[in-house]
Each structure stands twice: as C-alpha cells, then as structure tokens.
Chains A and B, each alone.
Chain A
Amino acid sequence: MSDIGGALARGARKGLQTTAILARAIVPAYIAVSLLARTPVLDWIAAAAGPLLRWIGLPGEAALPLILGLFVNLYSAIGAMASLALTIKEATIVAIVLSMAHALVVETAVTSQIGVPVRFALAVRLGLAVALAVIVNAAWRL
C-alpha cells in the first residue's frame, strides 16, 4: 500500500513539475500570439502562409502553432492554438501534423543517438505529417 501512496505522491510531484515546464512554454506563446493578433504582423504571416496551408485545409494563422510546434515543442504550439480561434476540423489537422512532427530539433537528436540518419527521421515525420493532413482535409468534407 505504501508503494501505491509513494508512487502517487511522486507522480503528483512530477505532474506539477511538468505543468511548470509546460507553463513556461504555453504562457509566453499564448500571450505573444494574442498580442500579435492585435498587430498586422499576424495578418502578414497569415497572408504569406495562406496559399500553402490552404492545401491542408488550414487558415494562414495556423502557421504560428505549426512553426512553434515543429521547432520548439508541442506545448508552445498548444499555447498558440488556444489563443487562436480554430474550428474543430482545423484544430484536428494541426494536431495531426504536430503529432507526426514536433520538437524536431530535440527528438531528431535522440533518434540519431540510436543510429538513425537525421534525413530519414525528418523525411518520415514531415512526409507523414503532410500526407495525413491532406487526406484528413479531403476526407472531412465527405
């Protein structure tokens, strides 16, 4: 029984520590994006990314969570997503892309430690991300 109690206490402590780590990523991303939304910068980014993202059924603004997720981590991307008003379909597509490919810098470094070429890991992850996003976007309309 004390095993269970100890495990739960340790888990709660780790959960709070993780939440603190998440907060350090989510809070700045959320605030930055919601302030950015008040400036024309978000519109510029959206206009630039719009034609590309339309292929996977996303509005141009979705470029922000995608960039944050791919290069930084999933948590900052979630902060950015929460501050944008995405529809469920859009949120799902962003989630799919980011599930396949996120925190590429850190995670690619890990897999290269087990002898997997960086190019292979990147090709698999980005290829899957785009392919699945295109498929889900097309299938959602049906």
Chain B
Amino acid sequence: MGSWELSAGWPVLWEAATGALRTVLKMAVIVVPLMMAVELLRTFHVLDRLSRWMEPGARALGMSREAAFPLVAGTVLGISFGSGLIIDSFREGRITRRDSLLLTAFLAPCHAVFEDTLLFVPLGVNPFFLLGLRLATALVLTLTLAHFWRGPGETPAVTAPRRVTAQHEERDARPDAGRHSDRRAR
C-alpha cells in the first residue's frame, strides 16, 4: 500500500486534465477535416456513384447488387453513422436476409474505415497496417461465409439463383471502370 498517496493532489489533477485536453485536440485535428470530407462526399453524391461501382464487388462477395449501397455506406460512414441507410435498405426489402448476414460479416471487421483507423494514429499505430488487416479479414470472412452458406442462409421467400458460378464469373469480369474513370477525373 506504500506508494499510493494523493498528497500531490492538484498537480496530479492538472496533469491529467491537460493530458486529456491534448488528446481531445489531437482527435479534433483528425475529426474536423474528416467530417468536411464526408460532407463533400454527400453533397456530390459520391456514395451513390461509389456504390454503383461496387455492385460487381458486392456480387463477388455473394451479395445482391442492391447490397452495394449499404456496404459502401457502412464501410465509409460506420455502423452507427451509416445505420440509417443500412436499416432503410433492409426495411424497404431491397436486401435479402442472406445479404444482411454477409453484410454484417463484412462490416464487423471493416467499418468506418477512415475515422476508426485515423483515431489510433496519434497513439503510434500504423494506419495502413490496421486498415489492411481489417480489409483482408473482412474479405476472407465474407468470401468464406458466402461459400459455405449458399442454401440455408436464404429465406424461402427469396428466389435463389445459383450464385456459385455467377460468383466466379463476376469476380473475373469485375470491371476496373471505377479505377479508370477515377484516374481520368484527376
């Protein structure tokens, strides 16, 4: 019990308070520009366009085309922030039950990729390592589940086209259209 004394009460509290504020400032430096970028994305409907490019990607991951939008929204905005968009597409019946399970599998390791990754940078974490690991985990997990979960994951109400072959074709035919037009835009 020897070393535990709060004798130097004020300096300790001061140190804690300034340390806390420094941490908040570091977060502000990340969060404010990030939110400005997100607002730009919204204003120019980049999410819509991005999700149209990601449709083949969603198919390759065993989801329907319609799942591309909640997929992109969750990956970029996060589960709580993007939840409105994700819940909407489910309620309106645009995505199937299989979609939402695969979507969760993908988003569990990999959501709010910009915010959640950048927030750890001031603590010394390498953002590329963290992001790469999250993305790789999401891809491996979703592809594995999509492979093993063909039949039973789908509700009887949903007409289930055999996605096994389509999946491979889609992956091979995945157009790089997005990347090209992006390059042109620069």
Contacts and interface: CB of A to CB of B under 8 A. Distances in A.
A88 B20 contact: no
Interface in B1-47: 1, 4-6, 12-13, 15-17, 19-21, 23-24, 27-28, 31-40, 42-44
Nearest to A21: B31
Contacts, number: 176
Given A18-B31, A78-B120, A83-B16, A11 B39 contact: yes
B119 interface: yes
Given A115-B90, A120-B101, A78 B27 contact: yes
Interface of A: 3-4, 6-8, 10-12, 14-16, 18-19, 22-23, 26-27, 30-31, 34-35, 38-40, 74-75, 78-79, 81-83, 86, 88, 91-92, 95-96, 99-100, 103, 106-107, 110-111, 113-116, 120-121, 124-125, 128, 132, 136
Interface of B: 1, 4-6, 12-13, 15-17, 19-21, 23-24, 27-28, 31-40, 42-44, 79-80, 83, 86-87, 90, 95, 97, 100-101, 103-105, 107-109, 116-117, 119-120, 122-126, 129-130, 133-134, 137, 141
